[in-house]
Amino acid sequence: MAAQGPVEVPRGLAGVVVTETALGDVRGLEGFYHYREYSAVELAATRTFEDVWHLMLVGDLPSATDSAAFARRVSGLRRLPEEVAAALPAVARASASSGPMAGLRSALSLTGAAAGFGPLYDLTADQRRDDALLAGAVVPTLLAALYRLGQGLAPVEPRDDLGHAANYLYMLTGREPAPEHARAVERYLISTIDHGFNASTFTARVIASTGADLAACLVGGVAALSGPLHGGAPSRALDTLDEIGTPDRIESWVRERVLAGDRIMGFGHPVYRTEDPRSRMLKEIALGFGGELVEFAVEVERQVEAILAELKPGRELHTNVEFFAGVVMEQCGLPRSMFTPTFAVARVVGWTANILEQAADSKIIRPAARYVGPPPPVPVPAA
């Protein structure tokens, strides 16, 4: 049979189905997304992070007994290999001007090497899952340590008795967090574990399709997530609030940016054509805390959506997850430089679930590109 030629697809592969998945989906027209068969937002409201982690990697929601056993298992994997802990000060110094996401790329590579991660192609399903659990458990430890080292502080050892979110906040600050802050961050983390075939998840799966080791796949995912058009937006959304400053400046600031064709960080989404359910949930959490920042954010949301509806009629442009995520994380005491890294704390679980699913398929992902350069062949000029 003759080889099939290239097939023309939309720019950015928008809407192109490249594989099948049992992990979840995003239904943008409805404003709904799910992990396996469950609403992701409902899971965030009713379950722990560890329970949803179990759902994604094992395939089902655990019973109370299994939940406790799984939480014990992953909490016991939080400590870093000695070689990695010893190298982190140098990694933090090297990435001082770039931040923890840049350091995480190096730290993940080092962790995979120290832990002996082998090529996915050569491992059994159980071995792959073991590597996935270790990676998900140590990413918060790596990020918290890199942040503290960057601030001239000693890393804080993880605690086995705290849940995933509470332990992360503890390692960042050195203080046990207030329960309401830990739960707010936990709900945020659950809501961002996975979200369809986004850029970072697709990147991780492309690398997994080559049979590379799990750390290599995660480094690719981290690199994609760090971009301002993907996970790098929560702090920028808060920067927007700072730049606007006061309620009386909202309308003039927004009109000027929209008419100039500028992007307003925290608004719009490539999939949703209605309200982002993650934003709705995070807004409710923010309102529960209250305060001037929340009131200002809600007023900015109202006016931005009204102005966008006026100037861009027919388009559904609402707040996305980054807008109120930044507000919630600010209320919970997270430094802005750790907003995108906190996104990675959650998304690493989704990446690893996708990596495991991709590793079960031996077909390499190898698309084509349309050449648009000068017509070949042209004779090579003499030197």
Q: How far apart are CA 127 and CA 214, in angstroms?
A: 11
Q: What is the DSSP string of 220-236?
A: HHHHHHTSTTTTS-HHH
Contact 237, 231 (CB under 8 A): no
**269: annotated active-site residue:** yes
**322: annotated active-site residue:** yes
345-361 residues labelled b (16+ CB within 10 A) or e (exposed): bbbbbbbbbbbbbbbee
Catalytic pick among 164, 269, 318, 330: 269
If you ran DSSP here, which 8-state letter would residue 3 be given?
P
Catalytic pick among 50, 301, 322, 330: 322
Q: How far apart are CA 97 and CA 95, in angstroms?
A: 6
Residues near 109 by beta carbon (within 8 Å), at least 6 away in sequence: 215, 216, 219
Residues near 279 by beta carbon (within 8 Å), at least 6 away in sequence: 318, 319, 320, 321, 323, 324
Q: How far apart are CA 279 and CA 328, in angstroms?
A: 11
Q: Which residues are catalytic?
A: 269, 322
